[in-house]
Chains A and B, each alone.
Chain A
Amino acid sequence: MRLLTHNMLSCNIKGVTNGFPLKIEATKVIEKQVDLNVDFLKNMFLKVEWKALVEASRSMGYAELPEEADSSLLGSEEFLKKFHHALLELHLEEGALICPETGRRFSVTKGIPNMLLHEDEV
């Protein structure tokens, strides 16, 4: 699971109001190189919750993202590279996503987050 995905997911258990961002428990993190697409990054920058991305990348062992970011940074190649790396090149292979409100664990195995709810959660 890449951090772009993490940035889009939340705990959707019935009644939960603060299910985002999910806390990452990383057991195995891998890196895979991906071609950088500037237009895609600029587009995604508008959609991403920055704070959640910064925190998520830290829990994956990457601490290079600035605390705050606004669109003026998109002109900087260095910033784009870091954003790209955090968003698309870090993978949570094994671990879990934990709901900040209820502590519910969503497991991630073989890179696939299991977001399916139990029958008492729907």
Chain B
Amino acid sequence: MWYLCVFFHRLLDFRKPEVESLAKLFGDDDGDGSLQWKLPQHHHPDSPFHLVNLPSEHVARSIARRSILVKGIYELWGEASNYEELEEAIKKYPDERKLPFLSSDTTFKINVDTFGKAISFQEQTDRIRKMSYIPFKGRVNLKNPEQIFWIMETDDYGSNNGLPPVIQRTVFFGREVGAPDRKLIPTYQLKTRSYLGPTAMDAEMAFLMANQGLVASGKLVYDPFVGTGSILIAATHFGAMTMGADIDIRVVRDGRGPNCNVWSNFKQYGLCSPISLLRADNNLPPWRPDLKEVFEAIICDPPYGVRAGGRKSGGRKLLKGIVKPYIVPDDKRLGHIPSTAPYSLAECLHDLLDLAAKMLVMGGRLVYFYPVLRDNTTERQYPEHPCLKLVAISEQILSLRYSRVLLTMVKVGKYTEEIALEAKARHLEFKENHLKWLEEGNLHSAVFSPATPNLDVDGDSKLGKDATPKYRGKYV
């Protein structure tokens, strides 16, 4: 059945993939997870209003309740360009779909919501009064009604106010099927978190990532770059068992003292602790070699980008072959701090995809951020792996020059002996060509070169061609 799905006007690229992931999580279809979508007449793809075909009201409700970017999912009783037409549309909508929700033993209320403009309390009341042609038999209950009906309006504003263009005014009337938990993000927002690092994942994004990862009760979820644990906190909220690793022992073990560390971040919200936190290098994962298909999701923000370049074991000169390994004297081994070399983007991705291909269960998901240049002249390429299928790409714009893209991949093929050998050869190749990769890798230099200060937008032809609408930014 078709439902009206209304989104918050945020993170536009993340909205449909989230609903599709949740449909996969709550529906029982074996399909590829994509849904049928339609736009209301005259609406722009970036509009908050979409129509989506879902298998049942139960699935629709579950999606709406769990979602971060859905404002509500509604059974649409009427859609029109003015209130006269709306009355006609609602009257035409079949009685058997309407009457059960209007009967005298129900309680209800009617809400008014306008997109793109604010209206006064009086105007709201007037609009509600206009609906008197609907035979409401139930009692009004403003606090805790069984049924919530919505009048939603978009105005006929032009396209110059920074919002996506809507050519014509639309009025919707619908019955709410489900809406999200509005306390979730405020509860977990980083402001409230005791132990924070410079790259802690924003709560809204961490929950979105967990939804892309189909996190659910009892699933084992791994973050190989766990940092302060923000992503695993979201996964744990949804009932996952978690594991995290990080190369930085100060972050993963010490934090800022006994009551301010990764463990305490979980305790603070009354969440189960991770199954384990360990110090390990994702370039040389410490898993026993025959271990396969244990994690249901791997969700992470890998160490690249301008803020936090990765490190891996072994000194720079050592990996280049200039020096022989420093043999750590036995008496110094205990407190020895191994030297590390920069971890290139290409190598980091190779390791991550290989880890996912091996350690994810079939159908398990890898969800991770990938940095891109906002350069429309070259077609974007995303990392590939024979065992993994890319199912969602969502861009978050970070600045004039950079975006990061949340990629969701599903494990569709078994990790074979051949693939393992190939991965090993690749690993050695990286080791040999480490510095070459580091210095010549196009992507890498693109990501690591700092943004040019005082960008002259007009003088920069590439940026001038940017087709992204101007209302798109970090949060939209």
Contact = CB atoms under 8 A, between A and B. Distances in A.
Partners in one complex: yes
Interface of A: 1-2, 4-5, 8-12, 19-21, 32, 34-35, 37, 39-40, 43-44, 47, 49, 88, 107, 109-120, 122
A15 to B, nearest CB: 13
Given A10-B289, A47-B291, A122-B313, A1 B218 contact: no
A59 B356 CA distance: 32
A120 B288 contact: no
Contacts, number: 104
A44 B313 CA distance: 30
Contacts of B280: 115-116
Nearest to A20: B288
Contacts of B272: 34-35
A35 B285 CA distance: 29
B313 A117 contact: yes
**Residue among A40, A116, A117, A120 facing the most chain B CB atoms (10 A cut-off):** A116
Interface residues of B, number: 43
A115 B279 contact: yes
B291 A116 contact: no
Nearest to B219: A40
Interface string B371-393: 00000000000000000000000
Interface in B323-379: 325-328, 333-334, 336, 338-339
Interface of B: 217-218, 220, 241, 243, 245, 247, 249, 252-254, 263, 272-273, 275-281, 284-289, 291, 293-294, 313-315, 318, 325-328, 333-334, 336, 338-339
Contacts of A34: 272
A8 B278 CA distance: 12
A52 to B, nearest CB: 9
A9 B286 contact: yes
Given A10-B288, A110-B253, A115 B278 contact: yes
